[in-house]
Every structure is written in C-alpha cells, then in structure tokens.
Chain A
Amino acid sequence: DVKVTQSSRYLVKRTGEKVFLECVQDMDHENMFWYRQDPGLGLRLIYFSYDVKMKEKGDIPEGYSVSREKKERFSLILESASTNQTSMYLCASSPPGLPENTEAFFGQGTRLTVV
C-alpha cells in the first residue's frame, strides 16, 4: 500500500514561531502537494512539487514556503506562524500525470493550532 506519512497529527505553536510540517511518501512519486483544509472552503492548494528541488505556487502560498531536497520528502514551512494559519494541513503524493496513474494519495493530516 502507498503510504504518505505526516510527522505530527496535532501541533500547537506560538504566534511568530517558525513551523516545519514534514511529509514522507514511500512510493517514489514525482508529485507532492500541500493543502490546507478549512470548513466550508474545502482543500486549498498551498504549494506543489513535481520533482526534487522544483516547486510551484498553488492558490494560497502567502506566508508559506516549501522544501524538497529528496524525492520522498516534502516540507511545508510557516516562516512566522499567525493565528489565521490555524488549520488542518494535508500532504499528498501522486505519480506523474499519465492517465492511468493519475491518483493522489493523502496523509492523515496535521491539525495545527497557532496561539
């Protein structure tokens, strides 16, 4: 089974802290994604990466950055956490966008609370 592992299920951080959310996948997938999930807004794409050291902005990149030094690991960084970044964060991975391989696999999510 494909496994996408997020390092923490629950995290509480203080305003202004630098926060790292880690995601690791074990299927050698090229594509990796970070979303945040908020009630009534669904999943909004923050950043995605289609290769090592490559990154693309999603729909809401402000206040976030990412790092992909190795194929299996995709990190989301909150440079200076703010209370409006309190949310559920979901990581996903997928193979390249060939039709037969187009499916994203999700981690369990990290619920981040910024106080």
Chain B
Amino acid sequence: AQSVTQLDSQVPVFEEAPVELRCNYSSSVSVYLFWYVQYPNQGLQLLLKYLSGSTLVKGINGFEAEFNKSQTSFHLRKPSVHISDTAEYFCAVILMEYGNKLVFGAGTILRVKS
C-alpha cells in the first residue's frame, strides 16, 4: 500500500514566485514526516521534519511545511523561490506501527525559471 503520495511529478515556477509542493500520507495513529531535497548529482539532504508539537515546521533555505492531520497532508511551501532551488524534492514518512521503516514518495521536480 502506498504510504506517501506526491501529487505533482514536476512543478515549473518563475523565480521569486511562491511555490507549494504537495504531499499526502496514509492515515496513521502516529507518524513522523520529512521533506528531503536532492540537488543534481548529489545525495539527499534533510529540509525539515515534523515529529510533534507545532504543525508549522520551518526548515533550511526558507522552506516550511504544515502538518494537517485531518487532511493527512504535509505540503511544502516557499514564499519566493530562487534558481538555486531547482532540485527534486521527496516527502517521506515513518509510520510508527511499522517501526523504523522510512518510506518515500515518488518525488517532485521543481524547475525554477528566470
């Protein structure tokens, strides 16, 4: 069963425009949520994570994400993107009933145009 769904495979956006990358997860009693970024020819780097507490999570490079339990979503946002944000972004989840298994979505390629 698919645990994480990223709704857009590619998102093109102009520089300095806002962007939202969407992520939905399978409903679970207890869940940890992550966004990772992969720049061209590089490994994955953690952007931000939600473990508990405040539903608005701030990460590196001006990104933030909001955990919405009722909609089982964890969308990633940035108010103004730069060319350097061009990368592939992965949403990931640990569903606690499955222990430490870290499951990723299919990824969203963000293309920032000048």
Contact (A99, B52) CB under 8 Å given A42-B107, A108-B43: yes
Q: Which residues of A contact B44 (CB under 8 A)?
A: 43, 90, 92, 106
- A100 interface residue (CB < 8 Å to B): yes
The segment from A12-20, A33-41, A61-69, A76-84 that touches chain B is: A33-41
- Chain B minimum-CB-distance residue to A4: B43
Judging by beta carbons under 8 Å apart, are A103 and B49 in contact? Answer: yes
A33 surroundings in chain B (CB, below 8 A): 102
Question: In the complex the two chains form, is A109's CB within 8 Å of B106's CB?
Answer: no
A99 with B51, Cβ < 8 A, contacts A42-B90, A109-B43 known: yes
Which residues 79-114 of B have a CB within 8 angstroms of A? 90, 92, 94, 96, 99-107
Alpha-carbon gap, A56 to B100, bound state (A): 10
Shortest Cβ distance from residue A95 to the other chain B in the assembled complex, whole angstroms: 10
Q: State whether A40 touches B101 (Cβ < 8 A).
A: no
Which of the four size classes fits the interface of chain A? 20 to 34
Q: How large is the interface on B (under 10, 10 to 19, 20 to 34, 35 or more residues)?
A: 20 to 34
Tally A-B pairs: CB < 8 A.
67
Q: Closest CB of chain B to A13's CB: distance in Å?
A: 21
| Contact in complex: B104, A35 (CB < 8 Å) | yes
Which of A35, A50, A104 gathers the greatest number of chain B CB atoms within 10 Å? A104
* Chain A residues in 8 Å Cβ range of B94: 97, 102
Counting chain B CB atoms within 10 Å of each CB, the highest count among A42, A44, A97, A104 belongs to: A42
Q: Which residues of A contact B105 (CB under 8 A)?
A: 42
The 8 closest A-B pairs by CB, nearest first: A42-B106, A43-B104, A99-B51, A106-B44, A106-B43, A42-B107, A97-B100, A108-B43
